[in-house]
Chains A and B, each alone.
Chain A
């Protein structure tokens, strides 16, 4: 599948950089997450070994995905769940709409799910008269503001508490306040009513455990537990890649997930769902449905970026990414922002319309360093850049320039001649050793920095003079 990307990555980036309020919010939150993460890992004995175990757990699941999915499905069914397979977002939404119709559900409460952002599930439900209500506080505000999340775990990183106060004032008709306690209290009161009224609960899944057919959710607000226990129907929407084989594998992943995401040792709630309500259970849904979505993941699995399927969606790479920290999540244009998004989005949605994303990186490697499962994101960005070039999606002028560069740089005499011309050209533009304006592509450089003029003699010339 290949759909149109919203126009102009660089235009969106430019807009974000000019937004002083966004800049302040990004700076504060990413720095806070970063320092909390460091502290949380300092308290984990053998952190490196746990990260290795988590990486092995996830990459093992990715390597055996087909087999594990079959085992997972069988376990789920044995636990009393119904399993649905969806290849596209439209199929996933249609399955969930049908479940709602078949069970007569009209109100759904949702806990946080990035996959449902991927499928635009809320719009699909609303179109058939089912009212979805987001119950993660951040996602609730996103929904009220008719906005989109801009961070994997902190969806409204781009909003201030004043923004939230205004959204609640307008949409909930409550008096304006920017007091966070009061804002939370308003949300809690509203959401309590929604939990009580809802007949369907929709959640994502942080992990699916193959051995036990368990759906694992981590939340801090407890909404995940309410969504999975109170309504009479529970639907899990998850990507097919989110498996771990064993409970021991899960343990390693949970140890690094919260530490990497929010800097907690463990999230406040870890919910493990292994089937619908059994006779004698105090609560739980009558029906449990698990919808497993592919949406391009199989295609990623077959290519050179398969490693990205090991991502546990902690968001740590966003917080340390100097590009994300300057442009925020919306500039990336799709569900998954930051370094992980720059790899995932072209994979899920097609390289052609998203060809700018692999280039939205200085390849600084901070993402690889911070990733709890040690995904080599720069390697994958480079592989995608190669695919972009191979598919002739780069400007022809750049391709020709690179060919000329390679031809010249492999012929020293020509290289020296070309260098002489280039240096002379630069030196006539210099004043006091600096060039303040360059034409063409190089204008990008001089828009914000001066360019040092080349020295009169090259190193090789000086070296030869010295040898004489």
Chain B
């Protein structure tokens, strides 16, 4: 790896248990670092909050999707049955709303679920088939049984030596400098 042509992405530390990762995340966050992320093979409750991630915007996006779906569904039915192609069947009102509810409901669910999928991808910046972290030794075990913490160099006042020292005190199994190029 030619280090002259590449840029420092961040520093990672590897841990072998959930508890150590959570402890490390707490300490690094308390030391003032903000551009940090933690990697685990399964969701760990509260970890995102520890590293400063506030509420997810996904529920709002899905709610907007659902409302859009409902309005689209009802609007389409009312337009087609009441205005564009009015049919008088047994004297029923043109805006026969009880009969329009099933499709309104289905489209609300459909749009909301699709909005959820889009929200998941956009908020997580996926798909992202290449990432500098994939070059960290053993990082593939983050999807089986290892736990990683990364401090990104984008943090203003990123101090490589200080972080190394902190990671060392936290008994990290391995500390790796990640470069992107």
**Do A and B come together as binding partners?**
no
Interface of A toward B, CB cutoff 8 Å? none
